[in-house]
């Protein structure tokens, strides 16, 4: 179903429909993540991917045209590049350990310690939260910094000066 949505997004010329299909795709992705037991990520995907970014794209459409321009070049070369990259990625996954295997490398490094000691050391039953906020606090601080930087970047680019802010909008 996700593949069908993605294909439809590539075919349809009306960008409004593409945005709506994008939201649909995000919800399907969230469902997949729930199936994979990653509820935290699924929640984020549903709220950001399907909710906020759809609204932002619609807001952008309102400022531009809602029909996609005809492509000026043939799509052959990009198609080849995409296929080769995709093929390489699939080839890369062949080297990964089997999905869900308990004795693969990443499950033997620090994960057992987090699982065993986490609840005791932090008093937080949810291991995801314990790892995210405590053991990997530096990484999360970095993530928040990325979000912060993105936010002020958008503010710096799109913010109008106070003077036109009053006169220009109406």
Please, what is the minimum distance in Å from the beta carbon of residue 156 to another protein? 10
Cα angle, residue 48 at apex, residues 43 and 50 outer, rounded to 5°: 90
The SS3 of residue 67 is strand
Smaller CB separation from another protein, 97 or 151: 151
Residue pair 41/33 in contact (Cβ under 8 Å)? The answer is yes
Structure tokens at 22: 């994008």
**CB closer to another protein, 9 vs 58:** 58
- Residue nearer to another protein on the CB measure, 60 or 104: 60
Tell me how far, at minimum, the Cβ of 120 lies from another protein, in Å: 8
Signed CA dihedral, 38, 40, 46, 48: sign only? negative
Q: Distance (Å, rounded) from C-alpha 24 to C-alpha 62?
A: 20
Closest CA to 135 of 154, 121, 152: 121
Shortest Cβ 15–another protein spacing (Å) = 15
Q: Which is nearer to another protein, 74 or 161 (CB)?
A: 161
- Rule CB under 8 A: which residues touch another protein? 39-40, 43-44, 47-48, 51-52, 55-56, 59-60, 62-63, 121-126, 128-130, 132-134, 137-138, 140-141, 144-145, 147-148, 150-152, 154-155, 158-159, 169-170
Q: CA 85 to CA 69: how far, in whole Å?
A: 26
Nearer to another protein, 89 or 155 (CB): 155
**Minimal distance in Å, beta carbon 99 to another protein?**
21
């Amino acid at each position: 179903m996700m593949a069908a949505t993605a294909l439809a997004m590539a075919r349809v010329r009306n960008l409004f429909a593409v945005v709506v299909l994008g939201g649909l795709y995000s919800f399907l992705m969230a469902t997949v993540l729930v199936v994979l037991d990653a509820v935290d990520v699924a929640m984020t995907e549903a709220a950001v991917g399907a909710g906020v970014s759809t609204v932002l794209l619609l807001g952008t459409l309102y400022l531009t045209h809602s029909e996609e321009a005809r492509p000026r070049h043939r799509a052959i070369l990009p198609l080849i590049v995409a296929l080769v990259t995709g093929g390489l990625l699939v080839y890369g996954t062949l080297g990964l350990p089997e999905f869900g295997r308990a004795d693969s490398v990443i499950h033997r490094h620090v994960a057992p310690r987090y699982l065993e000691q986490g609840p005791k050391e932090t008093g937080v039953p949810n291991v995801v939260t314990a790892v995210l906020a405590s053991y990997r606090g530096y990484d999360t601080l970095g993530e928040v910094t990325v979000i912060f930087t993105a936010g002020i970047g958008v503010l710096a680019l799109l913010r109008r000066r106070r003077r036109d802010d009053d006169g220009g909008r109406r």
